[in-house]
Amino acid sequence: MNRRQALKNLGLGGGALVATPTIISLLQSCGSGQVSGPSFLTASQAKALKEMVGLIIPTDFEVPGAVDVGVHEFIDLYWGKVLPTAEQVPALEDAFTPYSKTRRQEHILKGFAALAEVMQRDHQTDLEGASSQTYDAVLAHYLKADKAQSEAWSTEVWAYLEDLESNPEATVSSDAMANGLIHEVRSMTIWTWTQTQEIGENFLWYDPVPGVYQGCLPTSEAGNGKVMSL
């Protein structure tokens, strides 16, 4: 089973974000030629993101891939314009919300630094020079890791975030951080792809004005298992 068929079997779903007006505006700007270059990432990081996004949902003869509809552009814009900056984080914290544990912008950049270390260590190349085949091998290494290894990496990252609160010198392995970044990219790629106008209107079950709720319908009358796109 290829990745395209696997996504169809999942109902073309990815659930990651809430489609707020800001996010909808960013989605509309992507894939339309309005985005001239990376907003948050460096050129080499943006190249790495585009490679990964294109491998997660590749182009085929029937359906546009993630890169075709500007998913990589949206993710970069989302990270740069929606996530709070390091300067904004303190204003979001209170006694009940230690937001600093999820300084997302900082940790995303650390994830790319870790990915660069993995590329150099395992493939003797960098983010800019790595081939699509190399990125495919890296994605397979982390996304196809067995459950025990995947959980170990996740546990290591959360322990690192906890330690970082009291110890600015806390460290974490490159594998754990790269694994976290790649899983975030996969989640955002699937969600964003399903939310674009091209995919939503032309390839999902598109119904801009849903009717009354009907609980018992044959699959053939309910989008054949596809997610409804409004």
- Asked whether the beta carbons of 85 and 215 are under 8 A apart, the reply is no
Task: For residue 18, tell me if it sits in a domain.
Answer: yes
Which 8-state DSSP code applies to residue 35?
A: -
Distance of CA 68 to the CA centre of its chain: 16
Share of the chain above pLDDT 70, in %: 65
Task: For residue 210, tell me if it sits in a domain.
Answer: no
pTM of the full structure: 0.77
Match 């204003």 to its residue by tokens.
Answer: 91
Range of the domain at 115: 3-204+215-225
Structural domains in the chain (count): 1
Task: For residue 135, tell me if it sits in a domain.
Answer: yes
Q: What is the pLDDT of residues 99-141, one digit of tens each?
A: 444 578 889 999 999 999 999 999 999 999 999 999 999 999 9
Q: What is the pLDDT of residues 160-187, one digit of tens each?
A: 988 988 898 999 999 999 999 999 999 9
Per-residue tokens: 207: 């119904």
Task: For residue 30, tell me if it sits in a domain.
Answer: yes
Task: For residue 230, tell me if it sits in a domain.
Answer: no
Task: For residue 76, tell me if it sits in a domain.
Answer: yes
Per-residue tokens: 192: 């964003």
Question: Residue 30: helix, strand or coil by DSSP?
Answer: coil
Task: For residue 209, tell me if it sits in a domain.
Answer: no
Task: For residue 158, tell me if it sits in a domain.
Answer: yes
Q: What is the pLDDT of residues 60-109, one digit of tens each?
A: 888 899 999 999 999 999 998 887 665 555 554 555 555 444 578 889 99
Question: Residue 116: helix, strand or coil by DSSP?
Answer: helix
Match 């054949």 to its residue by tokens.
Answer: 224
